[in-house]
Structure 1
Amino acid sequence: MQDQLINLLIYTVPAVVTGVIAYFFFKEHIKNENNRRHFLMHKDFKKEALPMRLQAYERMTLFLERIVPSKLLIRVAPLSSDKNDYERLLIDSIEQEFEHNLSQQIYLTSDCWSIILAAKNTTIQLILKANMSEKTDNANKLREVILTEMMEKQAPSSTALAYIKEEISAIW
């Protein structure tokens, strides 16, 4: 009986050891294959997503250029002499342009999107502040006050444009 048990162990132990080694080998092999497939899919995704990301940066650059107050005032002329109507027209133009590009945020980093949002809001605040000025009594005077303000300082969107350029250079 003891000889049979020893014979059984002599044949069983190497088989169990071989089975355990094979199990760990195949487990590691499957893990490596999954990692390789994941890497290849990620690489293909990046190759396809890069043009879309660049297009999003382009569109947001165009948005920021369009909301530079001096360019906005040239593009959006007052419809009447009422300063409040013109203020609303300018803000609506900025908001409409922003909403048109809202979906681009999925291709940008959250920091970049936050800076673009801050540039938009700061530009709107600049228009609101200019409208509340005592010097402003009609739409043309509002234009003058905004342009005078922009001569003294940099447009809010220039900071966001610099950040976009920095992010694009990091991609390359």
Structure 2
Amino acid sequence: MENQIIQLLFYCLPAIITGLVAFYFFNSHTKNEEGRRRYLLHKDTQKDILPIRLQAYERMTLFLERIRPANLIINVIPQSDNKEGYESLLVQQIENEFTHNLSQQIYLTEECWNIIRASKNATIQMIRKIAMSNKIESADKLREAVLNEFLDKSSPSATALQYVKKELRELYG
């Protein structure tokens, strides 16, 4: 009986070893195939998403150019001589442009989106700060003061635009 068990074990041992080796190779082949499929799917997705991401960066570049104080002052003409009304009109224009581009944040890095949002907020703050001056009495004086404020220094939108360009160079060579 003991001899028969040993003999049975000798017959089964090669089959068990062959089964384990086959299982190992099958398992590793399956993992490789899954990895290859995932890579190909990621590659196809990137190919489709790249133009959309570039378009998002283009739209945010356009947004930053539109809220650049010099461009904003040229494009938004006062409706009256009231400086508070013109200040509100400028802020509303910036907010409308930003709201129009909110969906682009899903294609940008979080850091880039935060810099763009900070640029928008800084531009609004600067306009409000300038408008609070007692020396400014009319919408035309406000326009002049905003232009003079950014004559010698870089605007928040220009700084954000530099970051957007830097990020694009890093992401896409």
TM-score by length of 2: 0.97
Tell whether the 8 Å contact from 1:63 to 1:97 is kept in structure 2 after alignment.
Answer: yes
Deviations 1:35-87 (A, max 9, x none): 00000000011111110011001000000000001110110001111111111
Q: Partners of 2:6 and 2:68 in 1: how far apart?
A: 89
Does residue 86 in structure 1 map to residue 86 in structure 2? Answer: yes
5+ residue gaps, structure 1, are: none
Q: Partners of 1:90 and 1:167 in 2: how far apart?
A: 29
Q: Partners of 1:67 and 1:89 in 2: how far apart?
A: 12
Does residue 155 in structure 1 map to residue 155 in structure 2? Answer: yes
Q: Partners of 1:9 and 1:135 in 2: how far apart?
A: 102
What amino acid maps onto 1:64 in structure 2?
L
- Runs of 4+ with deviation above 4 angstroms: none
**Aligned counterpart, 2:31:** 31
Q: Partners of 1:16 and 1:59 in 2: how far apart?
A: 63
5+ residue gaps, structure 2, are: none
**Aligned counterpart, 1:5:** 5
Deviation at 1:152, TM superposition (A): 2.5
Instruction: Classify the secondary structure of the residue corresponding to 1:19.
Output: helix
TM-score by length of 1: 0.97
Deviation at 1:3, TM superposition (A): 2.0
Deviation at 1:24, TM superposition (A): 1.4
What amino acid maps onto 1:128 in structure 2?
R
Deviations 1:75-116 (A, max 9, x none): 000111111111110000000001111101111111111111
Instruction: Classify the secondary structure of the residue corresponding to 2:91.
Output: helix
Q: Partners of 1:27 and 1:6 in 2: how far apart?
A: 31
Deviation at 1:155, TM superposition (A): 1.1
Q: How does 1:55-74 map to 2 (within 5 A)?
A: 55-74=55-74
**Aligned counterpart, 1:124:** 124
- Tell me how many residue pairs correspond in the alignment: 172
**Aligned counterpart, 1:168:** 168
**Aligned counterpart, 1:14:** 14
Tell whether the 8 Å contact from 1:130 to 1:142 is kept in structure 2 after alignment.
Answer: yes
Q: Partners of 1:147 and 1:167 in 2: how far apart?
A: 28
**Aligned counterpart, 2:139:** 139
Tell whether the 8 Å contact from 1:135 to 1:145 is kept in structure 2 after alignment.
Answer: no
Q: Partners of 2:53 and 2:37 in 1: how far apart?
A: 23
**Aligned counterpart, 1:104:** 104
